[in-house]
Amino acid sequence: MKRFTWFNATALTLGFAFLYVPMIILIVYSFNSSKLVTVWAGFSTRWYGELLQNEEFLDAAWVTLKVAVMSSTIATVLGTMAALVLVRAGRFAGRTLFSGMIYAPLVMPEVITGLSLLLLFIGIGLERGVLTIVLAHTTFSMCYVSVVVSSRLVTFDRSLEEAALDLGCSPFEAFRLVTLPIIAPAVISGWLLAFTLSLDDLVIASFTTGPSATTLPIKIFSAVRLGVSPEINALSTLMIAVVTVGVIIASLVTKQAAIRQARDERMAERPA
């Protein structure tokens, strides 16, 4: 067993500081009463109140949440289906091409993805708006869901499904009653990952959005170009809070599912 040296401790501390100190500073200064984001003038929540009265930010936040929920839900369904095909279908004609198309968005630069989708929407005459952003976010987030669900299906004990089929379940009922509850933590994790990616996306959304639909990252980027305001700090703090709550919920769900699975395995191994 390797010792935890001072070098490792220093590297770990510097790494975490590089990642989280800027966020902590942003959160602290979101409660600053001064209009100058770099000058502390006392504790205040005025910027949160003004943020709630900013119609442009509220409209952009609503569009972002709507897009994130719809795209992550569609991506979870399609990604789970793709994972089932990759893990369960075995060898079939076009498997290499299919898997390559599923995993391509993982390594494809976002600029290329956004530009290609823009050309596609222009080519088919689809007006850019909420629908095009949803389609674009579904396209690049589906592969992440597929990877997460595939990793769970690989270790899934298929004898449980076979037992359900022997007891009279149809293949769909066996999947719904046996497989889906067991892989539910992976499916939920995939949904949360797709939701976070959609919530955070700027590049692809900037290519596929239109005048009628502006997402929150695009709005923040446009506002920051004119200078950082305390409202931006408050808005970013709220986004950090939403993502943190989502991560905590996902961790609790995964932990509870692992506990239930371990308990069920112990009961199954107990002699009758």
pLDDT average, residue stretch 163-183? 82
pLDDT at residue 168, rounded to an integer? 81
pTM greater than 0.85: no
pLDDT average, residue stretch 217-237? 81
pLDDT at residue 228, rounded to an integer? 72
Q: Is the pLDDT of residue 172 over 70?
A: yes
SS (H, E, C) the chain: CCCCCHHHHHHHHHHHHHHHHHHHHHHHHCCECCCCCCCCCCECCHHHHHHHCCHHHHHHHHHHHHHHHHHHHHHHHHHHHHHHHHHHCCCCCCHHHHHHHHHHHHHCCHHHHHHHHHHHHHHHCCCCCHHHHHHHHHHHHHHHHHHHHHHHHHCCCCHHHHHHHHCCCCHHHHHHHHHHHHHHHHHHHHHHHHHHHHHHCCHHHHHHCECCECCHHHHHHHHHCCCCCHHHHHHHHHHHHHHHHHHHHHHHHHHHHHHHHHHHHHHHHCCC
Minimum mean pLDDT range among 54-58, 86-90, 128-132: 86-90
- CATH numbers and ranges of domains, the chain: 54-227 (1.10.3720.10)
Greater confidence (260 vs 85) lies with: 85
Q: Which tens digit of pLDDT belongs to each residue from 18-66?
A: 888 888 888 888 888 877 777 777 888 888 888 888 888 888 888 988 9
